[in-house]
């Protein structure tokens, strides 16, 4: 698929950069180095098999040293050098780091925090997204770059800005104040509409004039949650407007695909399903959470979310790290083989580009202790040897390019519900959106079930199972969609504190969870949150399970009771229910089960849905990409022991026919060894 570009009278913009094979490389910041180092850089890039680098991401001050004065000489030379060596360029607009002159000249464009602190320069992070001066300057430098390099044969894609949403997300500047009122007028039509949507009669917040409507800045008590929810939407919309303005400036001169690097999962200020509609190719940055011993599961979730927002199309991992990062409290280095496991997990989940931050470790500045493809230790290092090996491995598996990762289970992901649920004064601070998503995801990951992340309002009919771990905000329309899904034969599993409010954070009429009553055959009379560390026991599944955080006073209206509380605030009452509705089933679980405790519940739910767990050892990660003539099974052994799959396991993984490991060229027999901490990419003739 490709999108027509106005620049060339409708010539299509490719949906992926024109690079042979899988893309491999990283952020390249040559402006930090003398030119003789550049020559060593390209020689090493060739040695490692690098074919794409992202250039110029933070170079605004070097490209426009004074307002309206440009210096492209150094960038010309860098691009020519890369071109001469067959390395393609992902050219960035440098607008995530406005130069010192910009902030000196336009001090009002500095970002203001919720408590009124004005953020100074000397770091990075864009100016106020609503500042007209910032937007004009950003569009100007983007146009200049596109005009100059838009048709350059080495420049195969555009990298707009860097990680919209962080470090700058919410902004309370004067520019934000002005744009906020304009945006609210468009959303609500009139002041009466706004007062109604925000429920301003509560605490007497009624607005009589538009200029009384402020930003949700720090206040004596809790700010109106509907106002804050709208502000989250506004923040996302303003950032997206900045992207679109730069994208259009580029498209006027270039028909190369345009992207911006997302931060799937961790950045709460951007609604990635909406952003994905604006880019030609979806790309993501991902870093491990060192404190989490199961950080590879978070990685898989981020990759699956990225693929899902991309609509299943191939996407690009634009940044990850060869080893430690430098911005966590304790920056744990990757151990031998870990980086390859990470890279292949992204690849298995649909990435056709494996890129790093950054090519060469910086000597100065805030990120000098961040790992790189060329570390401070140079090429006589484990990291460099692994970088070279990964380049070779990606060439060996290049035929996976364009194949698609398939999933028949969906986890619901709704950014608006995320924003709404995590505001203040909820029934329990322990009920957190991200925690529930990750826990359910972890259970599915352990069972070897590949999932898509899906929006509650989208067509879900092709999924065997839909899980709603945290759908606090659920519109009537979305609830009707879920109900239709069940009626049509789907299996829906809903977790507690779902279906509670509408798009304005207003409690649905008819009792908690009323919009899901038909699908689930239950509704909630009262929430019964638990004290910190309190537990509650549920019987009725294959084994007793322990819940935390939450219980409900549940009213059964047609459902069968599967699990019952034996203690805690809801002792003797239903905890888990199953409702036959239409041709499908609606399940409800009213307490917080961790990934272990979810196992017996999921067994029952899988049975209804016809979902078959992989049956492989728990720390073997398996994902399948389907191509036109073959399937590619990416198998990652996260343990430090060799795992031998017996004949039935081998058959479930890769069928009974001939199988080749693309990484080694080995033809595999009836059983299959997964090397300790190792990866296999198996080519299986289409089954
Ligand atoms: C982000 C940024 C990069 C770099 C890395 C460090 O992803 O985009 O510029 O700061 O983090 O991990």
pLDDT in tens, 276-316: 999 999 999 999 999 999 999 999 999 999 999 999 999 99
pLDDT at 125: 87
When pLDDT is averaged across residues 421-435 and rounded to a whole number, the result is 95
pLDDT at 11: 52
347 contacts 633 by C-beta, under 8 angstroms: no
pLDDT at 654: 87
pLDDT at 306: 98
Place of tokens 């998503």: 437
Distance 476 CA to ligand 1 centre (A): 39
Does the beta carbon of 357 sit less than 6 angstroms from any atom of ligand 1?
yes
| Range list for CATH 3.40.50.880 in the chain | 409-609
pLDDT at 1: 38
Taking alpha carbons only, the member of 588, 599, 594 closest to residue 563 is: 588
Mutating to test ligand 1, I would choose from 162, 334, 357, 371 the residue with most ligand atoms within 8 A of its C-beta, which is 357
Q: Ligand 1: which atom is nearest the Cα of residue 319?
A: 7
The dotted CATH code for 2-190+196-399 is 3.20.20.80
Does the beta carbon of 163 sit less than 6 angstroms from any atom of ligand 1?
yes
Distance 164 CA to ligand 1 centre (A): 12
Q: Ligand 1: which atom is nearest the Cα of residue 263?
A: 7
Q: Quick one: which H or E segment has residue 607? A: helix 599-609
When pLDDT is averaged across residues 65-71 and rounded to a whole number, the result is 98
Residue 128 has pLDDT above 60, yes or no: yes
Confidence of residue 638 (pLDDT cuts 50, 70, 90): very high
When pLDDT is averaged across residues 46-55 and rounded to a whole number, the result is 98
**pLDDT greater at residue 136 or residue 6:** 136
| Residue whose CA is at the smallest distance from ligand 1 atom 7 | 285
Helices (H), 201-315: 225-251, 272-276, 295-309
pLDDT at 126: 79
Which residues are part of the catalytic machinery?
Answer: 163, 319
Does the beta carbon of 164 sit less than 6 angstroms from any atom of ligand 1?
no
Does the beta carbon of 319 sit less than 6 angstroms from any atom of ligand 1?
yes
pLDDT in tens, 401-419: 999 999 999 999 999 999 9
pLDDT at 4: 46
pLDDT at 668: 86
Does the beta carbon of 362 sit less than 6 angstroms from any atom of ligand 1?
no
Does the beta carbon of 287 sit less than 6 angstroms from any atom of ligand 1?
yes
Half-sphere exposure of residue 13: CA atoms within 13 angstroms, side-chain side: 25
Does the beta carbon of 367 sit less than 6 angstroms from any atom of ligand 1?
yes
When pLDDT is averaged across residues 600-623 and rounded to a whole number, the result is 95
**Strand, helix or coil for residue 680:** strand
| Range list for CATH 3.20.20.80 in the chain | 2-190+196-399
When pLDDT is averaged across residues 543-558 and rounded to a whole number, the result is 98
Distance 573 CA to ligand 1 centre (A): 49
CA–CA separation, 166 and 343 (whole Å): 24
> How much of the chain exceeds pLDDT 90, in percent?
92
pLDDT in tens, 481-526: 999 999 999 999 999 999 999 999 999 999 999 999 999 999 999 9
When pLDDT is averaged across residues 571-597 and rounded to a whole number, the result is 98
Q: Is the pTM of this model over 0.95?
A: yes
3-class secondary structure for 364-397?
A: CCCCCCCCCCECCCCCCCHHHHHHHHHHHHHHHC
> How much of the chain exceeds pLDDT 70, in percent?
98
The pLDDT mean for the chain works out to 96
Lowest mean pLDDT among 1-10, 128-137, 473-482, 610-619: 1-10
In angstroms, the Cα distances linking 341 to 48, 613, 637, 679 are 18, 22, 8, 6
pLDDT at 12: 72
| Residue whose CA is at the smallest distance from ligand 1 atom 12 | 325
Residue 10 has pLDDT above 80, yes or no: no
Distance 281 CA to ligand 1 centre (A): 20
pLDDT at 687: 66
Residue 2 has pLDDT above 50, yes or no: no
**Token pair for 57:** 């991401």
pLDDT at 3: 45
| Residue whose CA is at the smallest distance from ligand 1 atom 11 | 357
CA–CA separation, 20 and 681 (whole Å): 19
Q: Ligand 1: which atom is nearest the Cα of residue 285?
A: 7
Distance 362 CA to ligand 1 centre (A): 12
**Token pair for 99:** 């130069």
In angstroms, the Cα distances linking 308 to 59, 273, 312, 440, 627 are 32, 8, 5, 17, 18
CATH number, domain 409-609, options 3.40.50.880, 3.40.190.10, 3.90.1150.10, 3.10.129.10? 3.40.50.880
| Residue whose CA is at the smallest distance from ligand 1 atom 3 | 357
Mutating to test ligand 1, I would choose from 93, 267, 285 the residue with most ligand atoms within 8 A of its C-beta, which is 285
Confidence of residue 13 (pLDDT cuts 50, 70, 90): confident
Confidence of residue 672 (pLDDT cuts 50, 70, 90): confident
Distance 366 CA to ligand 1 centre (A): 11
Q: Ligand 1: which atom is nearest the Cα of residue 58?
A: 9
Residue 22 has pLDDT above 70, yes or no: yes
| Residue whose CA is at the smallest distance from ligand 1 atom 9 | 357
| Range list for CATH 2.60.40.1180 in the chain | 620-685
CATH superfamily of 620-685: Golgi alpha-mannosidase II (2.60.40.1180)
CA–CA separation, 342 and 135 (whole Å): 37
**Strand, helix or coil for residue 73:** helix
Distance 17 CA to ligand 1 centre (A): 22
| Residue whose CA is at the smallest distance from ligand 1 atom 4 | 357
In angstroms, the Cα distances linking 244 to 102, 135, 361 are 21, 11, 32
Distance 357 CA to ligand 1 centre (A): 6
Classify burial at 525, counting beta carbons within 10 Å of its beta carbon; exposed 0-12, middle 13-18, buried 19 or more.
Answer: exposed
CA–CA separation, 362 and 41 (whole Å): 13
When pLDDT is averaged across residues 181-208 and rounded to a whole number, the result is 98
């Amino acid at each position: 698929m490709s999108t027509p570009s106005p620049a060339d009278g409708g010539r299509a913009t490719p949906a992926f950069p024109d690079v042979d094979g899988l893309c491999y490389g990283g952020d390249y910041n040559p402006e930090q180095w003398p030119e003789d180092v550049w020559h060593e850089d390209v020689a090493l890039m060739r040695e490692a098999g690098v074919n794409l680098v992202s250039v110029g991401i933070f170079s605004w001050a070097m490209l426009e040293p004074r307002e309206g004065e440009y210096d492209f000489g150094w960038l010309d030379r860098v691009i020519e050098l890369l071109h001469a060596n067959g390395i393609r360029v992902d050219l960035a607009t440098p607008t995530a780091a406005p130069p010192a002159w910009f902030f000196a000249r336009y001090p009002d464009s500095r970002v203001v925090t919720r408590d009124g602190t004005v953020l100074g320069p000397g770091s990075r992070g864009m100016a106020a997204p609503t500042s007209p001066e910032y937007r004009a300057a950003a569009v100007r430098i983007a146009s200049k770059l596109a005009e100059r390099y838009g048709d350059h044969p080495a420049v195969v894609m555009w990298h707009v800005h860097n990680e919209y949403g962080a470090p700058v997300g919410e902004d309370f500047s004067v520019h934000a104040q002005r744009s906020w009122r304009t945006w609210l007028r468009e959303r609500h039509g009139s002041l009466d509409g706004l007062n109604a949507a925000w429920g301003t009669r509560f605490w007497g917040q009624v607005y009589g004039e538009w200029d009384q409507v402020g930003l949700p800045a720090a206040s004596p008590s809790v700010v109106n949650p509907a106002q804050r929810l709208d502000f989250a939407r506004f923040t996302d919309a303003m950032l997206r407007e900045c992207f679109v303005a730069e994208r259009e400036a580029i498209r006027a001169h270039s028909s190369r695909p345009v992207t911006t690097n997302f931060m799937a999962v961790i950045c709460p200020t951007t609604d990635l399903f909406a952003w994905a509609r604006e880019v030609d190719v979806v790309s993501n940055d991902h870093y491990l959470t060192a404190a989490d011993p199961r950080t590879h599961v978070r990685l898989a979730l981020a990759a699956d979310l990225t693929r899902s927002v991309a609509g299943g199309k191939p996407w690009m991992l634009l940044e990850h790290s060869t080893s430690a990062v430098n911005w966590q409290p304790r920056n744990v280095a990757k151990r031998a083989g870990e980086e390859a496991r990470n890279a292949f997990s992204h690849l298995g989940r649909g990435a056709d580009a494996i890129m790093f931050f950054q090519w060469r470790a910086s000597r100065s500045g805030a990120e000098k202790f961040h790992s790189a493809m060329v570390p401070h230790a140079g090429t006589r290092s484990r990291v460099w040897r692994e970088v070279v090996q990964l380049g070779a491995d990606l060439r060996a598996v290049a035929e996976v390019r364009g194949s698609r990762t398939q999933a028949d289970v969906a986890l619901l992901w709704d950014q608006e519900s995320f924003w709404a649920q995590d505001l203040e004064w909820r029934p329990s601070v322990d009920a957190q959106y991200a925690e529930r998503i990750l826990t359910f995801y972890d259970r599915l990951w352990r069972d070897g079930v590949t999932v898509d992340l899906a929006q509650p309002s989208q067509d879900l009919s092709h999924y065997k199972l839909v899980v709603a771990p945290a759908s606090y905000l659920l519109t009537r329309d979305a609830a009707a969609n879920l109900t239709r899904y069940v009626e049509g034969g789907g299996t829906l599993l809903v977790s507690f504190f779902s279906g509670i409010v509408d798009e304005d954070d207003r409690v649905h009429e008819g009792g908690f969870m009323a919009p899901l009553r038909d699908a689930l055959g239950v509704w909630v009379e009262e929430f019964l949150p638990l004290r910190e560390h309190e537990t509650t026991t549920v019987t009725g599944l294959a084994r007793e399970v322990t819940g935390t955080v939450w219980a409900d006073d549940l009213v059964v209206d047609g459902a069968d009771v599967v699990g019952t509380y034996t203690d805690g605030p809801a002792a003797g009452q239903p905890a888990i229910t199953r409702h036959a509705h239409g041709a499908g089933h609606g399940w409800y679980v009213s307490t917080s089960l961790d990934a272990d405790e979810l196992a017996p519940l999921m067994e029952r739910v899988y049975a209804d849905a016809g979902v078959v767990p992989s049956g492989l050892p728990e720390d073997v990660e398996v994902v399948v990409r389907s191509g036109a003539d073959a399937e590619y099974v990416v198998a990652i052994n996260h343990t430090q022991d060799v795992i031998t799959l017996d004949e039935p396991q081998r058959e479930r993984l890769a069928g009974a026919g001939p199988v080749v490991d693309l990484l080694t060229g080995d033809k595999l027999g009836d059983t299959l060894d997964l090397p300790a901490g190792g990866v296999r990419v198996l080519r299986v003739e289409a089954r």
